[in-house]
Chain A
Amino acid sequence: EEDKYGLYSNLLFKYFLAEGIVCGHDLFVASAKEHPDNILKELPAPLLDDTYGKELGDEAAAVKSEDFQDSMKIAWRYQNLPKMEASPTTCTKFGHYYDVSKKMSPELCQSVKWHSFYLHEELSFEPEMKAWNMNSGYARLLQSIQRIISQEGFDGSDPQKKQRNVLRIGIQSLGSILWGDDVCCSDTPADPHSLTKFLYVLRGLLRKSLSACIITVPAHLIQNKAIMERVTNLSDMVVGLESFIGSERETNPLYKDYHGLVHVHQIPRLNSLICDVSDTKDLAFRLKRKLFTIERLHLPPALSAAVSRASKQELAASAKLLSSGCGAVAVGERHLDF
C-alpha cells in the first residue's frame, strides 16, 4: 500500500528490482505512470560490504560513547537482559544493501534480461478481450506477463533449459486512474471486479512459474474499502507504508527519528499450517542520506512528570497502535494509567 505521495513505496519498489539485478534475476517492470526504462535508470547502487560495515560502524560508535555501562540501581533486574537491537546488524545478512544517494551503474543494469510494459505504448494494439470481462489495460498486462513466462521458460515449459532463473515482476501503482480503472476516483466504480480479477489471474501465473511479484497500490485513494479487503485476501503479503509528511505525526516527539511507519497487514502462510510471525509488530522507517532502514518502533521513556495532555493522547493512540498485531487489532480505547 503506497504512502500518500508514493515516495517511499517507490523506493521499496526500486529496491526489489535492484535486488533482482544484483541476484541475476530477470526483471519485468510494468507501469502506466513512468516508462520502465526510466525506472530502471533510477535504481540505487549496491553497497559493497566494507562501505556498509563502515556506515553501521559509525552509528554504533556514536551510540556506544554515550552508552556508558553504569550498573543499574533501581531497575537492576533489567541489567542482565540483552540490549534491544533497534535494527538487525551484522549478525544475519539477508540480501544486499543499497546506497540511495548513488545510481546503479548502467553496466550492472544491463547484466540481466529485462522486459518492460508501458501501458501507453501497449494500448496501440487492440486485441479482442471481451471474453476476459475486465479492464483492457489489466488484460493486456496479464497477456504480456503470460507470454514472457511461457517464452522464457519460467514455467518449466522448456525442459531443455538447464539454467532456471527467477522472474521478478514489478507493477507500479496498480489501480490508479492511469491504468484506466476508476477504483481510485469513485465510491462506486464502473467495474469493481477488474482489479480483483487481475490479481486472481496474476496469482495463478505466479503459482505456476518461478516468479515473484511486487505491486504498489495507491490504497489511500481507493474509496471503496471493500475492494481493499478483497485485494488483501487475494495477496500473499501485504505491507502498508505510512509517511509522516503532512500529518500531525510529523511534529510528534515520539516519531522524531522516523519518517514513517511500516504496517505489516498480512504475511504468507504457504505450504504450512504455521506462518513466520515475528515478535515485533511495530516497525518504523527512515530515509537517511544513504540508507533506507526499517527499525522496531519503541516508545521513549516518559521521563517528565509534566507530560502535556496533548502528547498523552498521542501516547494513548500509539499504545493502541503498538498492541496491534498482524491482522489482529486491539479493540480497547484506554491506555494503561498508573
Chain B
Amino acid sequence: QGKFTLLRDTRTDGSFLVHHFLSFYLRAGCKVCFVALLQSFSHYSIVAQKLGVNLAAAKEQGQLVFLEGLKSCLDLLFGEEEQPGQPSPLQFLSTCDLRALFDFVRVSLTPCAHDSWKGPVLLVDDLSVLLSLGAAPVAVLDFIHYCRVSVCCQLQGNVVVLVHSSEDSEDEENELVVNSLCHHSDLILWAEGLATGFCKDVHGQMKIIKRLSLRQAAEQDLVQIYQYKIQDRNVTFFARGLSAAVL
C-alpha cells in the first residue's frame, strides 16, 4: 500500500502490464481510477474479459472510474458548452494546465461514505501522451507528485504509471520525465525488446527493480531479470535463455 509503481517500455509495447494491473487490482477489490489516454474503453474491456474481469460491471458498481481520454477530448472540442464548475479533465489541451486532471483523479478516489472497496489505485496509460498534447515536462511531474501525495500518502493507495523510453530517443522532455519518475518509484517494471532483434518465442525481457534504497538509506536496489512471451490470455515468464522453445 502507498506504493508508486513505474511501468516502462523500451523498443517494445509494455501495455500488457497495464492490462495485468487493471485486472489484478479489480479482482483484489480495490477502487481503481484508470486514466486511459490512448485506447478506447472497449479495447481494455475485451482484453480484461480474456483475463477474467468484466470492466463494464466494475464501472457500473462504482469500483472502476474510467477516464476515456479520446472520448473526453472529443466532448471537449466538439461538444456543447461545458457546465460551469465542472471543467473537463482534458482541459489541458487548451490551457496546458493539468490541475483539472488531478482534481478528477482526487475526486474519483476519495472514498464515499458507503464505499466498501479496499485501497484506491490510480492507473495511467500512458503518461508520455501528456507531453504530446502540450503539457510541459514540469507540469507532468507536478501532476504525478500531487497524485502521489493524494493517493499514496493521504489515501494509502497505489499508483501505477506507464511511460515509454529509449536510450537513443531524441525526445529529451520524455526522457527527463522518465528519469525523474524512476528516482521516485518504489518498483520499476521495465519491459525491453531484445537487443538481438525480434524473436517469435521470446518477446522481450523484463527487469524488475525493487527500489529498496528509496525507503531505507543503506539498502541496495534489488534487480531481477526475466524473459517473457505474450500469449492470448496470459504472459509467461522464464529465466533468461530458458524459453520453452529452447528447452
Residues of A within 8 A of B (CB): 131-133, 142, 146, 193, 196-197, 200-201, 203-205, 207-208, 224-226, 229-230, 233-234, 269-275, 277, 279, 281, 323-332
Contacts and interface: CB of A to CB of B under 8 A. Distances in A.
A323 to B, nearest CB: 4
Interface string B176-201: 00000000000000000111111110
Contacts of B199: 325
Interface string B30-51: 0000000011101100110010
Contacts of A146: 74, 78
A279 B200 contact: yes
A226 B171 contact: yes
Interface in B111-161: 128-129, 131-134
Contacts of A131: 77, 94
A234 B193 contact: no
B11 interface: yes
A269 B15 contact: yes
Interface stretch (B54-62, B213-221, B227-235): B227-235
11 contacts: A193-B132, A197-B134, A200-B133, A229-B169, A230-B132, A234-B38, A273-B47, A274-B231, A326-B198, A328-B12, A328-B194
B174 interface: yes
A204 B74 contact: yes
Interface residues of B, number: 51
Contacts of B134: 133, 193, 197
A279 B197 CA distance: 12
Given A133-B93, A201-B77, A329-B11, A270 B43 contact: yes
Contacts of B80: none
B70 interface: yes
B12 A196 contact: no
Given A226-B172, A229-B171, A329-B197, A271 B133 contact: no
A226 B200 contact: no
Given A193-B132, A230-B132, A234-B132, A328 B198 contact: yes
A95 B71 CA distance: 32
Of B12, B38, B47, B198, most A-chain CB atoms within 10 Å = B198
A128 to B, nearest CB: 13
Given A132-B94, A197-B93, A269-B13, A230 B198 contact: no
A224 B173 CA distance: 12
Nearest to A150: B78
Interface string B95-123: 01000000000000000000000000000
Given A207-B70, A208-B74, A271 B197 contact: no
B21 interface: no
Interface in B2-20: 11-13, 15-16, 19
B129 A207 contact: no
A233 B50 contact: no
A197 B133 contact: yes
Contacts of B197: 281, 323-325, 328-330
Contacts, number: 129
Dominant SS among interface residues on chain A: loop
Contact of B129 (A200, A274, A332): A200
B211 interface: no
A272 B171 contact: no
Contact of B11 (A205, A230, A279, A328): A328
Contacts of B171: 225-226, 229-230
A151 to B, nearest CB: 13
Nearest to A330: B197
Contacts of A270: 39, 43
Contacts of B193: 325, 327-328
A330 B196 CA distance: 5
Contacts of A271: 42-43, 46-47
Given A200-B132, A208-B40, A270-B39, 20 more contacts: A133-B96, A133-B134, A142-B77, A197-B93, A197-B133, A205-B74, A207-B40, A224-B170, A226-B171, A229-B174, A233-B128, A272-B46, A272-B50, A273-B16, A273-B231, A273-B233, A273-B235, A327-B12, A327-B13, A328-B197
A111 B128 CA distance: 43
A39 B47 CA distance: 40
A145 to B, nearest CB: 11
Interface in B201-243: 230-235
Contacts of A332: 196
Given A132-B77, A331-B195, A226 B93 contact: no
A271 B42 CA distance: 8
Contacts of A196: 132-133
Contacts of B15: 269
A146 B129 CA distance: 22
